[in-house]
Chain A
Amino acid sequence: MKLSPPPYQPKNAFTRWLDDRLPVIRLWHDVMGKGYLVPRNLNWLWNFGVLAGIALTIQIITGLALAMHYVASSNEAFNSIEAIMRYVGFGWLIRYGHMVGASLFFAALYIHMFRGVYYGSYKAPREVVWLIGVLLFMLAMATAFLGYSLVWGQMSYWAAQVITGLFSVVPFVGEKIRIWVLGGFAPNAATVNRFFVLHFTLPFVILAVVGLHVWALHRQGSGNPTGIEVKKAEEVVPMQPYYIAKDLVAIGVFLLIFCSLVFFYPNIFTDPDNYIPANPFSTPAHIKPEWYFWPFYAVLRSFTVNFMGIPAKLWGVLGMGLSVLVWGLLPWLDNSPVRSGRYRPVFRCFFLLFMADILLLGFCGKQPAEEPWIRLGQWASLYYFAFFLVILPILPLVEKTKAVPSSVEEAEKKRTDA
């Protein structure tokens, strides 16, 4: 933001006194108040960052309450959660809130990420914002996996077994790493304990990284749907009251969805198998992760043949790892000078196809490891990688973009006229 916002001016003796000693009100003013200028043409997709933050807050608060009752032991974990559901005051509300909250956190995160891709939010000068965001995504995935394991139901147990199994692909020392991660030869008492400690700690790491994410964003200011940087005072409004009010509406709708699910469909995202206590001697017939991992799970399963001396298992893990990492490469993969998808009709087609492709991948990940889902997943994975690694780098060389207006004001005026 190159426009200078109205500076904070303490109104009375107390705020002046406090501002000299600890400028917290100034911080609020600069970050969330009248001192942060936001493009006035943001659409509703720009609310999902705040919504992800709200979901994270819900997760941390409910998680703290759950941690007061949860027993991290392979014999007691499952029963202690059921005891929370039945005997702790409002325990069912807190536990279901944590379960549904995890899903909605990822839902908000995914919309936030797709918005970033479509409007080119990752491009200069906001690459660091994007990179920190991808780091947050990875931390969230790790936290979600650890938390899911803590339930110690059948799906939890086998998730712990399978996901730690990914480490065993590392040549020579893979098996040693797997055993080191688990603290045993299979998920056991030590595993639950360390997973609990990590699951408890990571959210606070996430919180700190969210701070960096917001800091980096505020350094350059928010982007906007036109992809043109704001230049004039007429193109921005202060965060308070305009976007605070808009965020509150979004939070209201978000909470409506959240509460409808918690109170009426709390188990809509879970697998019934996870209400069976972990049994290390029997794997459920069809194991699958929670919905937010389905696309990546499908990528993992799409590598079915050994190739170039690399076993299929290693290809799968490499492919899955790359499918997450490519998000972080985006700022360097796409060097089109045009930022927003609004002015890139060809990109827009590929992007819509990419969204459909992710849904298809997710659908394949949900299905049992049978045909035709494997083959379908292979084609979907192929497009996934092609989109990031082939289409995005080549597109700027061949694509004919629309004329980009010279200012946000002009762009929005054209839009309302049309």
Chain B
Amino acid sequence: MKNSEAKNGKGDMSKDVEGHAFKKPQADLSEQTDKALSGLDRRDFLNVAAVGIAGMGVCGAAIPFIAQMNPSKDVSEQSKTEVDISTIQPGQTVKVVWRDQPVFIRHLTEQEITEANAVALSDLRDPETLEQRTKAGKTNWLVTMAVCTHLGCIPQGSNSSEPRGEYGGYICSCHGSAFDTAGRIRRGPAPTNLVVPPYRFISPSVISIG
């Protein structure tokens, strides 16, 4: 108990090293620890293996906690969206929901198709023709995700009361990306054209997205 007096006198541990009153146990302890550690070569196979296997265990245990943040099975397997397009007039755009996100279905007018075809591919940031972005023989039906490829806002232009921008398609009011009548990026920060989701015509008047 000699140490306690000394300790009361000096709170700082680093100074304890010089305190003569407890030099002996001090030495004993470091000696003891050193002895224990010197026997254990750092490269000792067993210790490396033990640390390694513990590390593996921790990494393995992390897998479920990372995996659980993926979309759950009932979300990722959500069924297709079927849309009756027979009531959509030329020039009209409707928004439907697929995978929790809106999709534009646009019935292009003759003029819009002509406008889209008149653009030279070399003028485009992401060169694609209207033909490539629509189904064969159905070039008047433009189906795109209503999600700006810049940072995910919903572009305006689907409703007649909304601005369509100088290229007549859509304009994203968040950061000013303008899309043409084929949904292609023409101006602003968006890197690519509006994405065309997987879809097919299951009858002349019904499309199925997904």
Contact = CB atoms under 8 A, between A and B. Distances in A.
A90 B64 contact: yes
B150 interface: no
Contact of B25 (A7, A91, A233): A233
A85 to B, nearest CB: 11
Contact of B29 (A2, A231, A238, A248): A238
Nearest to B31: A233
Contacts of A232: 25
A233 B68 contact: no
A248 B17 contact: no
Given A3-B25, A4-B25, A68-B68, A83 B40 contact: no
Interface string A1-35: 01111111000000000000000000000000010
B30 A65 contact: no
A65 B72 CA distance: 13
A88 B7 CA distance: 56
B65 to A, nearest CB: 5
Q: Which of B28, B40, B63, B68 has the most CB of A within 10 A?
A: B68
B74 A83 contact: yes
- A: interface residue count bin: 20 to 34
Contacts, number: 87
Given A4-B7, A4-B16, A241 B25 contact: no
B36 A6 contact: no
A54 to B, nearest CB: 12
A265 interface: no
Contacts of B37: 241
B54 interface: yes
A91 B72 contact: yes
A248 B55 CA distance: 13
Interface string A232-247: 1110111001100000
B73 interface: yes
A97 B24 CA distance: 49
A238 B33 contact: yes
Contacts of B1: 2, 231
A89 B25 CA distance: 55
Contacts of A400: none
Nearest to B27: A233
- B: interface residue count bin: 35 or more
Given A37-B29, A87-B74, A93 B64 contact: yes
A2 B3 contact: yes
B199 interface: no
B136 interface: no
Interface in A213-237: 231-234, 236-237
B68 A234 contact: no
Interface in A25-73: 34, 37, 61, 65, 68-69
Contacts of B32: 233, 237-238
Contacts of B67: 89-90
Contacts of B24: 233
Contact of B68 (A2, A37, A88, A241): A88
Interface in B17-72: 17, 19, 22, 24-26, 28-30, 32-33, 36-37, 40, 50, 54, 63-65, 67-70, 72
Interface in A66-107: 68-69, 83, 86-91, 93-94
B13 interface: yes
Given A2-B4, A4-B25, A34-B33, A91 B68 contact: yes
Q: Which of A3, A91, A231, A241 has the most CB of B within 10 A?
A: A3
Given A37-B29, A232-B25, A241-B37, A89 B3 contact: no
A4 B3 contact: yes
B9 to A, nearest CB: 12
Nearest to B76: A87
B54 A83 contact: no
A241 B40 contact: yes
B161 interface: no
Given A7-B17, A241-B37, A242-B36, A65 B29 contact: no
Contacts of A83: 72, 74
A7 B14 CA distance: 6
Contacts of B26: 4, 6
